[in-house]
């Protein structure tokens, strides 16, 4: 059985609640951010579980993307790797993945709980606080098991959540090397500003494998700052990233920056001609009254985009599929997709 798309990330259960700004202030959280929980944030999880409006939804950024890509693609197209515990949280993830037909090959930790993310929704913003727990224990050896490596060899494309750089850059490199050698698509997401900020070396060690890089405007700005780029201009930042050294010289690197409701920017670098192609794509408009929450919007964009690539669609059409799926997902609670299934 070959899955066209193999994804790697941190499987998390999202504990989602609506909060006021005061609650974020109490824990020194920004309105729109994603961070690793520090000891001072730990009480949040028990507190919000008692909120009246608490919702438990499948999360983990790359897992959301894997679910979204499987939502779009034919049955048994996507396989997701990550690490979970043996608990009801993991059961909930498996249930959500099953609902779209996503196949998982989890590494299972006997004595560590499944990771969780406090998704604190404040209007159109979301602040994500994560306790990785079992997700932090993923090991490259899981990929190297013969039955899993067969899936890697059978895949046409790979999608990697940048968040996984905090866990196992070695696992990412293992997939990256395979993708470059076999001329397969390797797609990476920067995931959050703290990745380029605090995991710069890990990120820099994996970017050479990336054919596609997806991130949002605040992650691009954090990248520019941590890499000492003397510019805040998004096109210039995208050009810099697109031109960075690349292991697979058979295809250009394409950098895609989303910007919320503003247009998405795509910059490709053609090394042979030493030239850039810069394009911009309007998002699909949605009245703000129809937004349930924006948790997972970026993951849904990445899902639609990646599904397009896997189907052999053009860059322009793949980006439009990303915008289409993001618009559907923000009308659902959490990083979810609507049923009955809609088609692009
Ligand atoms: C390492 N960290 C902090 C994380 C995450 C994460 N997924 C993986 N690793 N922090 C938040 N998320 C997920 O991001 C999704 C929204 O894009 C949340 O679980 C949420 O579903």
Task: Give the per-residue pLDDT at 184.
Answer: 98
The residue from 131, 211, 299, 320 that is catalytic is 299
DSSP state of 293: -
Q: How far is the CA of 226 from the centre of ligand 1 (A)?
A: 21
Phi, psi of 215 (to 5 degrees): -160, 175
What does the pLDDT average to over 35-54?
97
Q: Is the pLDDT of residue 172 over 90?
A: yes
Residues with Cβ < 8 Å from 317, sequence gap 6 or more?
308
Helix axes 297-310, 61-72, angle to 10 degrees: 50
Q: What is the dihedral of CA 258, 63, 55, 328, to 10 degrees?
A: 50
Burial tier of 328 (Cβ tally within 10 Å: 0-12, 13-18, 19+): buried
User: Whole-angstrom distance between the N-terminal and C-terminal Cα of the chain?
Assistant: 26
Protein residue closest via CA to atom 1 of ligand 1 = 163
Three-state SS at 256: strand
Strand 212-216 to strand 185-189: parallel, antiparallel, or no bridges (unpaired)?
parallel
Three-state SS at 69: helix
Three-state SS at 196: helix
Residue in the structure block whose two tokens are 């920017």: 265
- Tell which one of 11, 12, 64, 121 to mutate to probe ligand 1, the residue whose CB is within 8 A of the most ligand atoms: 12
Q: What percent of the chain has pLDDT over 90?
A: 98
Burial tier of 282 (Cβ tally within 10 Å: 0-12, 13-18, 19+): exposed
Ligand 1: which atom is nearest the Cα of residue 334?
A: 21
Helix axes 61-72, 315-329, angle to 10 degrees: 110
Model confidence pLDDT, tens digit, residues 129-146: 999 999 999 999 999 999
**What confidence tier does 41 reach under pLDDT thresholds 50, 70, 90?**
very high
Return the closest-CA partner of residue 242 out of 195, 277, 203, 218. Answer: 277
Task: Give the per-residue pLDDT at 131.
Answer: 98
Enter the ipTM: 0.97
- Cβ neighbours around 22 below 10 Å, total: 7
- Tell which one of 117, 296, 298 to mutate to probe ligand 1, the residue whose CB is within 8 A of the most ligand atoms: 117
CB 266 within 8 A of CB 260: no
What does the pLDDT average to over 263-282?
96
Q: How far is the CA of 243 from the centre of ligand 1 (A)?
A: 28
Task: Give the per-residue pLDDT at 1.
Answer: 75
Protein residue closest via CA to atom 2 of ligand 1 = 163
Beta bridge partners of 217: none
Model confidence pLDDT, tens digit, residues 284-307: 999 999 999 999 999 999 999 999
DSSP 12-34: EEEEEEE--HHHHHHTT--SSEE
What mean pLDDT, rounded, does the chain reach?
97
CB 197 within 8 A of CB 189: no
Ligand 1: which atom is nearest the Cα of residue 14?
A: 19
Active-site residue, 299 included: yes
Return the closest-CA partner of residue 112 out of 6, 8, 10. Answer: 10
DSSP state of 135: G
Q: How far is the CA of 163 from the centre of ligand 1 (A)?
A: 7
Residue in the structure block whose two tokens are 């951010």: 33
Rounded CA separation 66/192 (Å): 18
Model confidence pLDDT, tens digit, residues 91-104: 999 999 999 999 99
Q: What residues flank ligand 1, with Cβ below 6 Å?
A: 9-10, 12, 14, 34, 36, 59-61, 64, 117, 119, 128, 130, 132, 161, 163, 166, 295-296, 298-299, 335
Model confidence pLDDT, tens digit, residues 200-241: 999 999 999 999 999 999 999 999 999 999 999 999 999 999
Task: Give the per-residue pLDDT at 27.
Answer: 98
DSSP state of 46: H
What does the pLDDT average to over 160-187?
98
**What confidence tier does 85 reach under pLDDT thresholds 50, 70, 90?**
very high
Rounded CA separation 262/265 (Å): 9
Question: Does the reported pTM lie above 0.90?
Answer: yes
């Amino acid at each position: 059985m070959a899955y066209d798309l193999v994804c790697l990330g941190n499987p998390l259960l999202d504990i989602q609640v609506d909060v006021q700004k005061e609650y974020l202030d109490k824990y020194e959280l920004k309105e729109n951010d994603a961070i690793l929980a520090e000891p001072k944030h730990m009480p949040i999880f028990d507190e919000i579980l008692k909120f009246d409006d608490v919702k438990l939804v499948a999360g983990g950024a790359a897992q959301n993307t894997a679910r979204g890509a499987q939502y779009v693609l034919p049955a048994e197209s996507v396989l997701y790797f990550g690490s979970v515990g043996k608990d009801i949280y993991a059961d909930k993830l498996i249930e959500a993945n099953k609902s779209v037909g996503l196949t998982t090959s989890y590494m299972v930790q006997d004595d560590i709980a499944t990771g969780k993310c406090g998704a604190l929704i404040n209007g159109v913003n979301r602040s994500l606080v994560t306790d990785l727990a079992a997700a932090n224990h993923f090991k490259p050896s899981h990929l190297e098991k013969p039955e899993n490596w067969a899936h890697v060899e059978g895949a046409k494309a790979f999608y990697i959540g940048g968040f996984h750089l905090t866990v196992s850059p070695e696992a990412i490199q293992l997939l990256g090397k395979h993708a470059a050698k076999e001329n397969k698509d390797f797609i990476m997401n920067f995931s959050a500003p703290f990745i380029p900020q605090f995991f710069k070396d890990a990120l820099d060690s994996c970017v050479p494998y990336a054919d596609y890089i997806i991130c949002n405007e605040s992650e691009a700005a954090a990248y520019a700052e941590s890499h000492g780029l003397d510019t805040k201009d998004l096109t210039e930042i995208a050009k810099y990233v697109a031109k960075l050294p690349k292991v697979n010289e058979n295809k250009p690197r394409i950098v895609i920056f989303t910007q919320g409701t503003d247009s998405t920017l795509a910059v490709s670098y053609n090394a042979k001609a030493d030239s850039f192609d810069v394009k911009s794509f309007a998002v699909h408009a949605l009245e703000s009254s129809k937004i349930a929450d924006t948790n997972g919007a970026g993951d849904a964009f990445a899902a639609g985009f990646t599904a397009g690539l896997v189907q052999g669609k053009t860059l322009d059409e793949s980006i439009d599929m990303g915008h289409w799926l993001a618009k559907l997902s923000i009308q659902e609670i959490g990083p979810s997709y609507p049923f009955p299934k809609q088609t692009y």
